[in-house]
Amino acid sequence: MYYLSRISFFFAILFIAGSCTERMQPIYNAENIALPPIYKTAPLSDTTSAIERGTKDAGWKVKTVGPQEIEASLKIRVHTAVVRINYSDTDYSITYNSSTNLPYTGTRIHKNYNLWIERLQTKINNSLQLKASEIRAAKNKIGADPGTAWEVVKDSESVAVLREFLRKHQDSPYAPLAIKRLNEIGEEKNLARAAPVNPPRKPVSNLRTKFDVTGNWRVDATYLPFAASTTSCSPKRHWNFSFFFRNGITTRTVWSNGEALYITAENSPDFVDLRVEVPNGGSNWQWSERLNIDKKIVFLRAEAATTSGNYGNCIGTIEIRMEKLD
């Protein structure tokens, strides 16, 4: 009887160990998942919004932690998973960051975690495909008539679509409306991320508090030559980078595929000034509307007033999206 009890106990231990092993799996990281090709020419903000939308659709909470980097968290009962999503204009990756009550050994983890990551990847892929389809459909409908085109894109949430409208109809009366819509998109996303549940009452005052631009910004800049300049100018150029707006004067040169973008920023108690220059894309750049950096996400558009050097009529516009990260 004693030996039978020991044998029964031995098999019980084996059963429990086997059950635990079945629940543990090699951790799955979704690495270098390819994006639809259209994102190579779309503003990075379109990629960001599509990935964020897919992440939220999967039930995860989203937090921007750096340029082209999102922290996503999921809590189910007493279990919590946190991942980092890094992305570019060609691919994205989902990697493990931390977890609670999901036994993690460094290489293996509870199988439910892998199921959650696979579902998250599927939702992000679906969102990217949907956004890509919307961008293609809207671009195809932006025809020669600016009034008809504006009816198609006026409620769009795609930066790429609105920029395409501006490129084709930059001299139409609808161009200022497109710029306004770009700013609305940025403001809506900013409020969705940052607004408190119970916002404090604003003090009654006749003095407007100056927005503090000091800090790290993510900048997405695109140079678009005018239609008459495309034969003698370089094609569309794009720069994506981080820029620290400090007190005083800051200068920086950013390179992308051999093309330079010169930036001069001045931050003083009385005013904020931002100047941009594309060496072979005209000079004396002027903001289409008064420069006003008064919120965490802004859209700006500058036009070249004169040509520069030996580059003839190589002029156009610079469109800039800026997002404050801290």
Locus of tokens 């495909």 = 129
pLDDT at 85 (0 to 100): 96
- 69 within some domain: yes
H or E segment to which residue 4 belongs? helix 2-23
For residue 38, what is the domain's CATH number? 3.30.310
CA-closest candidate to residue 248, choices 278, 213, 218: 213
- 2 within some domain: no
pLDDT at 157 (0 to 100): 76
pLDDT at 188 (0 to 100): 47
Report if pTM > 0.75.
Answer: no
pLDDT at 34 (0 to 100): 93
Is 221 in the same domain as 132? no
Instruction: Please give the angle made by the CA atoms of 39, 43 and 48, to the nearest 5 degrees.
Output: 75
| Cα dihedral 157→163→165→169 (10° resolution) | 150
Which domain range does residue 313 map to? Answer: 214-324
Is 128 in the same domain as 224? no
- 64 within some domain: yes
- 285 within some domain: yes
How does pLDDT run along the chain (326 residues), one tens digit per residue? Answer: 544 455 454 444 444 444 445 688 999 999 999 999 888 878 788 898 899 999 999 999 999 888 789 999 999 989 999 999 999 989 999 999 999 998 888 889 999 999 999 999 999 999 999 988 888 877 777 766 788 788 878 887 777 777 777 777 777 788 888 877 777 766 444 444 443 434 343 333 333 346 788 888 889 888 877 665 555 566 678 888 888 888 877 778 888 777 778 888 888 777 788 888 776 665 567 777 677 787 888 888 887 655 444 444 566 788 888 888 87
pLDDT at 13 (0 to 100): 45
H or E segment to which residue 180 belongs? helix 175-194
pLDDT at 283 (0 to 100): 57
> What is the side-by-side order of every strand in the sheet holding 30-34?
30-34, 91-100, 79-87, 69-76, 61-66
> What is the side-by-side order of every strand in the sheet holding 248-256?
248-256, 259-267, 272-277
Q: Into how many domains does the chain fold?
A: 2
Question: CA–CA separation, 207 vs 242, rounded Å?
Answer: 32
- 177 within some domain: no
pLDDT at 228 (0 to 100): 55
* DSSP codes joined into one string, 228-264: GGTTTS---EEEEEEEEE-SEEEEEEEEETTEEEEEE
Q: Which amino acid is at 317?
A: T
Cβ atoms within 10 A of the Cβ of 68, count? 18
Q: Two tokens at 321?
A: 């999206």
Q: Two tokens at 59?
A: 């039930």
Q: Which of 107, 137, 167 is the last residue of a domain?
A: 137
Q: Which of 111, 137, 163 is the last residue of a domain?
A: 137
Q: For the purposes of burial, counting CB atoms within 10 Å of the CB of 155, is it exposed (0-12), middle (13-18) or buried (19 or more)? A: exposed
Is 122 in the same domain as 24? yes
Q: Which of 119, 137, 155 is the last residue of a domain?
A: 137
Question: CA–CA separation, 119 vs 248, rounded Å?
Answer: 48
Cβ atoms 166, 146 nearer than 8 A: no
- 65 within some domain: yes
Residue 205 per-residue DSSP state: -
pLDDT at 118 (0 to 100): 93
pLDDT at 209 (0 to 100): 43
CA-closest candidate to residue 138, choices 184, 188, 181: 181
